[in-house]
Amino acid sequence: MYLDVVHLRAFYDLPLGQLLRGLIGAPVAQMWPDIQGQSLLGLGYAGPFMRRYHGSAERVISAMPAPQGAIHWPREHANSCALVEDEALPFSDATFDRIMLVHALDHCSDPSAMLREVWRVLAPGGRVIVVVPNRRGLWARSELSPFGYGRPYSGSQLKELMKNCQFNVLSDSEALFMPPSRAVSIQRTARTWENLGRRFWPAFAGILILEAEKLVFRSLPVDGKKSRLRVLRPVFIPDGAATGLKPVRQERSEQ
């Protein structure tokens, strides 16, 4: 179930939300350092992490699902937000080069249906970034952030879901190793928590970040065996001959 967009915006305006924006945005920026001249779609509530691309990308659109609601985005520019149905996006096939999913895959009712729509509107070879709460992390168990209200994933579950929806996983990362807390002392040491967490307990990160590429063709297994096809050969029966003859079958090998 989606959270209300007003609550999402209010969270990212708080000091804790601004901190999470930076901690999660850092690995996202490493995956996509520059998308100049490309089109970008954000699905869910990805605005806080798409802002850095607003000036360089050819087109940036924030698509907010109807159950969540929509607001003007970005605040300081003309509106680039659209209210959409997450299982029927109002865009033509192969429209976008990049798509970012934040507070989307973990809140929607049918993740596979959403990814099928993402695959449809993504250009061949286009890339997608997915941000979801980690099932093993503390942030999925805390209500301090929107990541505590959605459906958490393990790394293997997320990769399997992407592969089943015709995406090739390119890279993955983690974020939010600090414990969920509003304490100023914890927030001040967030960078230290991130460095230590990546080194000593990467499996217990609060957030999983995955980059994948759209697959257009799926390879089929080849067993090396010849297939045999049965075909019917017509048999001409003279006039007056007895009926009830069975057609002669001929086997033909297909290479």
Average pLDDT over residues 58-74: 95
Average pLDDT over residues 158-166: 96
Among all chains, which residue has been given the structure tokens 């304490």? 183
Assign residue 31 a region: left if phi > 0, alpha if psi is -120 to 50, beta otherwise?
A: alpha
Q: What is the CA radius of gyration of the chain?
A: 26
Q: What is the mean pLDDT of the chain?
A: 88
Which among 204, 210, 187, 209 has a CA at the least distance from the CA of 138?
A: 204
Tell me: pLDDT of 221 over 80. Answer: no
CA distances from 183 to 13, 66, 155, 178, 190 (A): 17, 34, 29, 11, 11
Share of the chain above pLDDT 90, in %: 79
Query: Which residue type occupies 108?
Result: C
Tell me: pLDDT of 112 over 80. Answer: yes
Tell me: pLDDT of 243 over 70. Answer: no
Which among 120, 139, 104, 109 has a CA at the least distance from the CA of 210?
A: 104
State residue 156's pLDDT score.
Answer: 96
Q: What does the pLDDT look like over 5-63, one tens digit per residue? A: 999 999 999 999 999 999 999 999 999 999 999 999 999 999 999 999 988 899 999 99
Strands of the chain, DSSP E: 39-44, 59-65, 81-84, 96-102, 122-133, 167-175, 207-214, 227-233, 248-254
Among all chains, which residue has been given the structure tokens 């019917």? 232
State residue 136's pLDDT score.
Answer: 94
Tell me: pLDDT of 255 over 50. Answer: no
Domains and CATH numbers, the chain: 5-214 (3.40.50.150)
State residue 244's pLDDT score.
Answer: 53
